[in-house]
Amino acid sequence: MEVKEINAKNIIVKSKLPSADYVINPYTGCAFACIYCYASFMGRFVNQTIENWGNYVYVKINSIELFKNEINTFLKSKDNPSFLLSSVTDPYQGAEAKYKLTQGILEIIAQVQYKGQVGILTKSPMVLRDIEILKRIPNAEVGMTITSTEDKVSKWAEIKAPRISQRLEALKTLKENGIKTYAFVGPIFPHYIKKLYEFESIFQSLADIKVDSIFIEHINLGKYILKRMTSQLAEENQEIKNVYQQATTKEHRLQLDEFCKEMIKKYGLNLRLSEVIYHKN
């Protein structure tokens, strides 16, 4: 794993996501090495290849200082725009244990009592370390990426990420501590169309935890992502390979959309954005 310290020019960046106005990424790269991750395109900004995603992390060591300066502009705003940590990295990957950049940024948000929504999206139970800080932030919410309920399934696609069981337990702990929670159910693995009972177990588990809301997202199978997934899919049987090849079809997508609607209604869950997110390739 290559870990390199760098200085960033800014840390609060305008978002292209529908769920956040601005994003904060204290790291470039991600040690979790998820094979489906769309953020692998970030390698081009640090002279890294798509294939090398998961083997490098660039630490923006001046993130806290930058945020301390940049937050002043937003404190003067009457709109209280929303922030997300993070969009193209995981704010609680291993490097965070040493550098504590996410923790430092959250501490500033708590100190200034920023009233806009502050969202966190992670796969790591390390976020529990900062529960006391999160309690002091007026409008904080923490989300966990949940792609399965079985550790073996997650391990296939989220190679170095914390186990799904740990993430579900972290969501439960956050909820019990009064932190607003959400789950990012995505990407939907295409093979779920053949195993809907496995897919349903995700909705049931989130309902049991009483998560406040969920996002659902179809897998992005752009060419650069398929390129990274090739070696993993090569080991699967032909039926699974065919499912992934068909996953970009409208028929495949609509069938899963309908199932998601049924599950949302069955388990009384709150779907954010009122639809399943889909990225055109």
Query: Which pLDDT band holds residue 10 (cuts at 50, 70, 90)?
Result: very high
Q: Whole domain around residue 198: which residue ranges? A: 2-274
pLDDT in tens, 194-243: 899 999 999 999 999 999 999 999 998 887 787 777 777 767 767 777 78
Query: Which pLDDT band holds residue 45 (cuts at 50, 70, 90)?
Result: confident
pTM to 2 decimals? Answer: 0.93
Q: What domain count does the chain have?
A: 1
Domain annotation covers residue 133: yes
Domain annotation covers residue 127: yes
Q: How many other CB atoms sit within 10 Å of the CB of residue 276?
A: 22
pLDDT of residue 54: 87
Q: Residue 15 in contact with residue 84, Cβ under 8 Å?
A: yes
CATH number at residue 63: 3.80.30.30
Tell me how far apart the alpha carbons of residues 159 and 1 are, in angstroms, rounded to a whole number: 14
Domain annotation covers residue 279: no
Higher pLDDT pick, 270 / 156: 270
For residues 158-168, give the mean pLDDT.
Answer: 94
Query: Which pLDDT band holds residue 176 (cuts at 50, 70, 90)?
Result: very high
Domain annotation covers residue 211: yes
Q: Which residues, in sequence order, are CB contacts of 203 under 8 Å at separation 6+?
A: 185, 263, 264, 266, 267, 269
pLDDT of residue 56: 93
Tell me how far apart the alpha carbons of residues 250 and 253 are, in angstroms, rounded to a whole number: 5
Tell me how far apart the alpha carbons of residues 267 and 207 are, in angstroms, rounded to a whole number: 6
Q: 228 has which bridge partners?
A: none
Domain annotation covers residue 144: yes
Query: Which pLDDT band holds residue 133 (cuts at 50, 70, 90)?
Result: very high
Q: Which residues, in sequence order, are CB contacts of 180 under 8 Å at separation 6+?
A: 140, 141, 142, 212
pLDDT of residue 205: 97
Domain annotation covers residue 213: yes
Domain annotation covers residue 257: yes
Buried b (16+ CB within 10 A) or exposed e, 22-49: bbbbbbbbbbbbbbbbbbbebbeeeebe
CA distances from 51 to 29, 41, 48, 148 (A): 12, 10, 8, 24
Nearest to 61 by CA among 104, 30, 31, 20: 104
Return the DSSP state at 162.
Answer: P
Mean pLDDT score of the chain = 92
Helix H or strand E encompassing 201: helix 196-209
Domain annotation covers residue 280: no
Q: Which residues, in sequence order, are CB contacts of 75 under 8 Å at separation 6+?
A: 112, 114
